[in-house]
Every structure is written in C-alpha cells, then in structure tokens.
Amino acid sequence: MFNSMTGFGSGEVHVGDAGKVSVELRSTNHKFLETLIHLPVGFLSLEERIKKEIEGRLKRGRVVCSINITGGQQGKVCVNQELVNSYMLTLKNIKNKFKFRDGPSIDTLVNLPGVVSLAEAGLPKEKVWPYLRQALSRSLEELVRSRQKEGKALYLHLKREAKGIKSNLEHIQKRFRKIVVVKSRQINNEEERAAFLKSADITEELERLNYHIGSFFKKIHKSGPVGKEIDFIAQEMQREANTMGAKCCDTMISGRVILLKSRIEKIREQAQNAE
C-alpha cells in the first residue's frame, strides 16, 4: 500500500552525561522530494550526509529537518581581556580629563557590554555524526510509520470514492441504454435520428471511464510511489466526465454526471497527498 506525504517524526540520542542530539522531521505534499535542513552553527558541513539519509527512505514530499545539538560539559565564563584594556584606557582618560578621584571598580567593569560572556560547550563536529545519524534514523522510522498510517486512511478514502464512481457509471449505462431507445422512437425522420444518436452517444466515454477506474483500482493497491500516476488517471477521468456532461440528453444522467465529477474532484484533491 502506498504512503501519504504528510507525517512527523522525532528522535534523540544522549551523549555522555548531559549532551544530546535531537532531530525533528515534518513532511507535507510536494511534486518532488525537497529537503530543508536547519543545523546549528558550525555543523553545516553535515548537511549533504543528512540529505542522503533522508533520500534513502523517502521519494516525494517537502521535508523540514530541525536539528539541535547540545554539549556534554558545562559552559565556560569568558573574559574579553582586550576589551577590558580598551575600557580601562578610556576610563583613565575620562578620569584625568574630569579630575575624578576614584577609578572604576570591578563591579563596573564586569557589567560593561561584552566584557564577560558564557560560552556553551558543544560536541566536536567530527564526533557528532554517529550520534546524529542514530537520532536521524529514529526520526525517519517514526516519520515513515506516520506516513504509512496516513497512507492507509488515504487509501480507504480513495477506494470509497472510486467505488462511488463505478456505481454511478453503472447507473448511467443502464439509463443511457433505456433513454436512447425511448428518444429514438420519438424521432420519425431517419436523418434526425442519426444526428441525435451521433450527438448524444456517450458509449466511448463510458468505456474509457470504466477502463480508467479499473486502472485506478490497480494503482491504489500497489505499494511504492503512485501519487503522480493516480493523479494522472483522475485527470483523464475528469476529461471524459466533462465530455459526457456536454453530450448529456437526459436530466437523470446529467445529475449522475455531476455526482461523478464531484467524486473525481475529491480524488484529485486527495491524490495530491499520495507519495
């Protein structure tokens, strides 16, 4: 059975005592496979490896991958000594110019912008990939399961609509055979009768629609990416239904064609989510 392109997955791996690598994946429908990756600063070189892992599991959809990497050590307090020297020189000049008696206190210095900062300890780039790959694999597993679950619900919906189309076709065929006989008898002129039969004949459209609905059932029972194929089949069904509606010579058939077109439109909308 095919999958949906809509889903979510997450995974995380703990590194050491406090380090952690976490991955979140969200996917929506798209004509092709498009991957957007949000990585922390300093880890952009891992982007291509991540894309290859995702491409190995998914064929279609717009996938947003968010990655968070935290270090296993406590952060360090950093003092910008060059900036402190610059502040001291400036304050000394101010003191001499305006004849201040007292110099700057330590409390004043540490509260000046940029003097003291807290640097977070991060995992080394060369060591993070095995943990990131493991977290990515877990999130992909969950995403695939989510897309499979959505795909099952989508399959049931498409199957229900396709059965409705087939039922409508059967009613239209029966009604058409009956109405052709009735209306033909009402026309005495052979030339007019021939013209009516030619303009109102929907036999070919019915045959092609039956063929397309058969192909549609075969496709939705297949596994793997089928979204583009079932969307194409639905387009063909829509074309035949439009032609049949234009030729319609009976109000009951016309009503059935409207129901037919409504179901085909629903199929086309839902087919956009099939992988």
Q: Same domain for 162 and 247? A: yes
Q: Give the total number of structural domains in the chain.
A: 3
Q: Is residue 61 part of a domain?
A: yes
Closest listed residue to residue 4, CA positions, set 217, 140, 146: 146
Q: Same domain for 59 and 41? A: yes
Q: Same domain for 161 and 34? A: no
Q: Which residues contact 214 (CB under 8 A, 6 or more apart)?
A: none
pLDDT of 37 strictly over 80: yes
Q: Same domain for 50 and 82? A: no
Q: What angle do CA 221, 223, 228 make, to 5 degrees?
A: 85
Q: Is residue 31 part of a domain?
A: yes
Q: Same domain for 80 and 143? A: no
Can you give the pLDDT at residue 121? 47
Q: Same domain for 50 and 84? A: no
Average pLDDT over residues 56-76: 83
Q: Is residue 81 part of a domain?
A: yes
Can you give the pLDDT at residue 72? 55
Closest listed residue to residue 25, CA positions, set 48, 5, 45, 1: 5
Q: Same domain for 108 and 201? A: no
Q: Same domain for 31 and 139? A: yes
Q: Is residue 1 part of a domain?
A: no
pLDDT digits (tens, 9 = 90+) for 114-156: 877 644 445 666 788 999 999 999 999 999 999 999 999 999 9
Q: Same domain for 208 and 237? A: yes
Q: What percent of the chain has pLDDT over 90?
A: 56
Closest listed residue to residue 67, CA positions, set 21, 125, 27: 21
Q: Is residue 46 part of a domain?
A: yes
Instruction: State the average pLDDT for the chain.
Output: 87
Q: Is residue 49 part of a domain?
A: yes
Greater pLDDT, 256 or 196: 256
Average pLDDT over residues 80-107: 80
Cβ atoms of residues 5 and 271 within 8 Å: no
Average pLDDT over residues 52-81: 84
Q: Same domain for 193 and 242? A: yes
Reading the block at residue 252, the tokens are 């009951």
pLDDT of 49 strictly over 80: yes
pLDDT digits (tens, 9 = 90+) for 94-112: 877 777 777 777 877 778 8
Q: What is the CATH number of the domain that holds 190?
A: 1.20.120
Average pLDDT over residues 245-266: 91
pLDDT of 209 strictly over 90: yes
Q: Same domain for 19 and 130? A: yes
> Is pTM, for the whole model, over 0.85?
no
Q: Same domain for 39 and 132? A: yes
Its domain, for residue 17, covers: 7-73+125-147
